[in-house]
Structure 1
Amino acid sequence: MKQSYPGRAFRAVLLVVLLVGWASSSSAVELPEYDIQRCCDLCPLTASPSSYDTSYLKNFKMLVQGEDGWLFRSEAELVEQFGPDLEGLKHLKRFARQLKETTGTELVMVFQPTKGLVHPDRLPDTSPVPFNWNLARHSYGEALDRFRQAGLVVPDLTPLLAEPPGEEAYYFKRDHHWTPYGARRTAKVVAERIKKMPAYQALPKQDFVTRRSGLIRKDGSLQDAARRICGFAYGSQYVDEFRTESAGTGEAGGASALFSDQGLPPITLVGTSNSKGAQDYNFVGSLQEFLGAEILNVAVAGGSYDGSMFEYLLSDNFRQSPPKILIWEVPGYHTLDSSEFYRQVTPMISGACEGTKPVLQNTTAVGVGVNEVLYNGGGQFREMPSSEYVVDLQFSDPAVKEVDAFVWFVFGRKDRVDMEYGDRVETPGRFVFELPEGPEWNDELFMSLDLELKPEQVSEGLTVTAKICQRQDV
């Protein structure tokens, strides 16, 4: 197994020089012996699930040693199956259709290939975690096809898999993000597909240029996890940094004349820290250069695959000026099959109870624990089949990020919906979700709604306005 260690050659030469000089002046004295250990192989603790015992470390199960100082996560970067199950795919298809029919927005899925798919040559021949690259490659390609069948525009990123060794690395050695080189190669493929969309043809165009702006120092997230478990530190990795600017104005692409004079750009990107974070890998900048079009970047670092989508669809930007094209950047290890996600995000497209009269509405104070906020009774019972209704909650404090909802039905059945926005996701304290649907739910009639709040979510004088109204897509 090859390893590279900055400064080792220099230290070795210095040691030899010092020893030779010392020996020449003290030949009669016995030379000392040194026990030199190479750095850095993962310690045995990384092979134990119990080592990943914090909310942070659980994201790095299980660290796997690669060649030449590379690190992988077995549960995220060495997966062999991709994409949603059939139920999740059905929800995704309805979401994309609602987006197109309600706002005219077309959804482009950038389903980023995993580290194992792109860099299988960096895995050792005797990896402790089995990884069948051919199986993973086939499953990844099938997932892209299923997304297309669901009505999404899906660029074919399979040419980026198993890139030749001569290319600048797509991923950082010991981090879960793509490098600026990987981001740029992805942007080129994505732009080529978007250019074939009729929606793109009518967009205003302008020129962008990309220039090297410096270096990115990367102390990777995986090496940080290794440090916390094993106690040693890897060296930093350095790669080129790039910046894209509008060629016409010399201003940064995110604040160009087109943006300021004509309102919001016609293309929006939602995504993760690959697209917007503490360090800029220039994915959006490269997209703007290849497309010749302005892009509104609303990605959220640390928001997972769903955080920026929640934040954007609840924003005034989306409500007042929906884009022609919505690009969704998603790391490939996300399955996208959470029914709770689609029950929330789909009614956000139409605004849930906005512009329609609620069937039930109540404003009440809420506290820690379970609170009843809606009740269908009191001599005014309304027949509300589950499959036809949506709940819209607005808290007085926008800092509320988490709430558990319990929906009770007339004949005693109960449904639970756990809703949570990440700490870095900025929302107005609003939650929406559809009542459950399907053959086993369609005949159930809504009775009441309880909300459970944790102490950290409850501020003094907290109230919630709860509404239930007919779904606008029914």
Structure 2
Amino acid sequence: MKCLIWVLLLTFSLTINAQQSNYTTPECEVINGIDDNNQNKKFIQGLDNWLFTEKQLSVNTEISDDAASMLAELNQQFKKRGSTLILVPVPRRNIVYPHKIPVSANFDFEIAKNKYLDHITTLKQLGLHVADLTSMFSTKQSQLFFKRDFHWRPEGAKVTANLIKEYVKDLPVYQQIKKQQVLTHSNGIYGLESKLQKRFKIHCQDQGYPKEYHKLYQNVSSDSEAENALFEEDEISDVVLLGTSFSAIPRLHFAGFLSEAMQAGVDNYSVAGGGLVVALTQYVHSTEFKNNPPKLIIWEYPATNIKASMFALALPKLEDKSCDLDSVISTNVQLKLGENIVAYNGGEDFKKMKQKQLLFDVNFGNKAVKEFKLTTHFVENRKINRKIGHSRLQEMDGHFLFDPSVITAEQELHFLALAINVTDPEWVGTKVTTKVCSKEL
């Protein structure tokens, strides 16, 4: 019976692949360069049925000087806890398959490739471990990434997992990891119609591309009779994966391929839609990390610009900073609609404090709060508006301790006040405790 099922799956897969290889790009002359109003992006039809947006052809992968300092400190803090951090900056599909981009798009492969290489060089100069994925540039494999979605296919996830293993196997930490024989099996087929091609279809009068099919996978331990479980639920692994949707989407199976390549259990704390640092921030605030720091942390992210402000919530937690003692300002406020001053450095109690000397601690009575808008007012008659947190954060518990000095332009300004702007009536009446405290320089 199993043999019959595999034959049917194989026949179905071959039929689908044949259909797609014979498919002709839809004639939609008006689509190239058209503004997609819902996403504020422009479509670019590639060769061989590839589809891009203008944003997906971006070459921005710079690391600011402030961010570089933050990354170096982040690495040191993990080391103090006995964790080795491996960064995995995933190259964009525009530099893996540049020949699929039309000449009319004016995409410069050399510039994009060199910016990615500069990104890697900067990380290495900071003393960080970086998995080498540059072999993807010269790959002859045609299915590492989807044609009409920016994610990698399972094939790309598997190649990446093996490249990470090649890098890690020469590090001392690899010998410290508990090993277990792990196998990967295919157990089905999935047809993807990406959000991008759905939007294309709307703009192109219902004329669109076919689904992209790929195999589904599962892992089993070779010494286990259970085919649907690899490890006991309460078993803690030595390897933790922090990543984006590339790691979080189950059908792409990156964590599974990584477990097979490493021959070890992998605990996946990745967050889809969380950007570069949400998984990282969420994890360092978790009780799992506090009680059981892993031996190896693998941090996957699509190569992009890295800014210091991204680490405002993660670093204070890693550095064990706190405003519980010796706070300069401490207030309790019940929120109302409009601007709410939650901390004020004025009157007879005014203290001359530069932004770079401070930490802010904002604790909401509503533990479900994951993000909020904060305005910092300065003595120099300036103010900065920013969003703190992220809608994907799950572990903050309504409590936000953050370093406001991550932006260089603000470091020398003198602190005056903090304000939370409330526009949602559901926030009215929420209690918030705010503390401002000094940090060691």
Q: Is the 8 A contact 1:66 1:122 kept in 2?
A: yes
2:195 to 214, 221, 238: 221
Structure 1's 391 and 159: CA in aligned 2 closer, same or farther, altered over 3 A? same
Question: Once the two structures are aligned, what percentage of the paired residues are identical?
Answer: 26
Residue 304 (1) aligns with residue 272 (2)? no
Shift of 1:218: 0.9
Q: Is the 8 A contact 1:410 1:444 kept in 2?
A: yes
Structure 1's 318 and 39: CA in aligned 2 closer, same or farther, altered over 3 A? same
Residue 97 (1) aligns with residue 76 (2)? yes
In 1, distance between residues paired with 2:21 and 2:111? Answer: 39
The DSSP-based 3-state class of the residue aligned with 2:312 is: helix
In 1, distance between residues paired with 2:211 and 2:104? Answer: 25
1:331 aligned partner: 302
Question: Match for 2:130: what amino acid?
Answer: V
In 2, distance between residues paired with 1:441 and 1:8? Answer: 55
Pairwise mapping of residues 30-429 of structure 1 onto structure 2 (< 5 A)? Answer: 40-48=26-34, 51-54=35-38, 57-58=39-40, 61-76=41-56, 78-101=57-80, 103-124=81-102, 127-164=103-140, 167-232=141-206, 233-250=208-225, 256-257=231-232, 260-261=234-235, 264-277=236-249, 279-332=250-303, 334-337=304-307, 339-353=308-322, 356-377=325-346, 379-382=348-351, 384-410=353-379, 412-423=381-392, 427-429=396-398
Q: When the two structures are aligned, how many residues end up with a matched partner?
A: 424
Q: Is the 8 A contact 1:390 1:433 kept in 2?
A: yes
Output one character per residue of 1:221-248: Cα deviation in whole Å (capped at 9) or x when no partner. 3212212322323211111122122333
Structure 2: which 5+ runs fail to align?
Answer: 1-16
RMSD value, Cα: 3.0
Who wins on radius of gyration, i.e. which is larger? 1
Q: Is the 8 A contact 1:211 1:243 kept in 2?
A: yes
Tell me the TM-score normalised to structure 1 length: 0.80
Residue 464 (1) aligns with residue 435 (2)? no
Q: Is the 8 A contact 1:393 1:431 kept in 2?
A: yes
In 1, distance between residues paired with 2:248 and 2:268? Answer: 8
In 1, distance between residues paired with 2:311 and 2:348? Answer: 34
1:449 aligned partner: 418
Identify the range of structure 1 (178-187 vs 365-374) with the bigger mean alpha-carbon deviation: 365-374
Output one character per residue of 1:81-117: Cα deviation in whole Å (capped at 9) or x when no partner. 423233433333333334434x343321111111111
Structure 1's 315 and 406: CA in aligned 2 closer, same or farther, altered over 3 A? same
Shift of 1:439: 7.9
Shift of 1:255: 5.8
Question: Match for 2:30: what amino acid?
Answer: P
Structure 1's 143 and 438: CA in aligned 2 closer, same or farther, altered over 3 A? closer
Q: Is the 8 A contact 2:333 2:433 kept in 1?
A: yes
Output one character per residue of 1:256-296: Cα deviation in whole Å (capped at 9) or x when no partner. 14x624xx32222111111112x421111111111122221
In 2, distance between residues paired with 1:424 and 1:375? Answer: 28
In 1, distance between residues paired with 2:176 and 2:273? Answer: 34
Question: Match for 1:373: what amino acid?
Answer: V
In 1, distance between residues paired with 2:257 and 2:297? Answer: 16
In 2, distance between residues paired with 1:203 and 1:349? Answer: 23
Structure 1: which 5+ runs fail to align?
Answer: 11-37
Structure 1's 82 and 9: CA in aligned 2 closer, same or farther, altered over 3 A? closer
The DSSP-based 3-state class of the residue aligned with 2:256 is: helix
Shift of 1:455: 1.2
After the TM superposition, which segments of 4 or more aligned residues of structure 1 sit over 6 Å from their partners? 7-10, 437-440
In 1, distance between residues paired with 2:423 and 2:317? Answer: 24
Shift of 1:356: 4.6
The DSSP-based 3-state class of the residue aligned with 2:146 is: coil
Output one character per residue of 1:381-407: Cα deviation in whole Å (capped at 9) or x when no partner. 555443222111121223333322223
In 1, distance between residues paired with 2:149 and 2:111? Answer: 24
Q: Is the 8 A contact 1:266 1:295 kept in 2?
A: yes
Shift of 1:200: 2.8
Shift of 1:9: 8.1
Shift of 1:323: 2.4
In 2, distance between residues paired with 1:225 and 1:293? Answer: 40
Tell me the TM-score normalised to structure 2 length: 0.86
Question: Match for 1:111: what amino acid?
Answer: P
In 2, distance between residues paired with 1:321 and 1:8? Answer: 49
Question: Match for 1:459: what amino acid?
Answer: W
Structure 1's 319 and 115: CA in aligned 2 closer, same or farther, altered over 3 A? same
Output one character per residue of 1:159-211: Cα deviation in whole Å (capped at 9) or x when no partner. 011421xx250011111111110000001001221222223322222111111
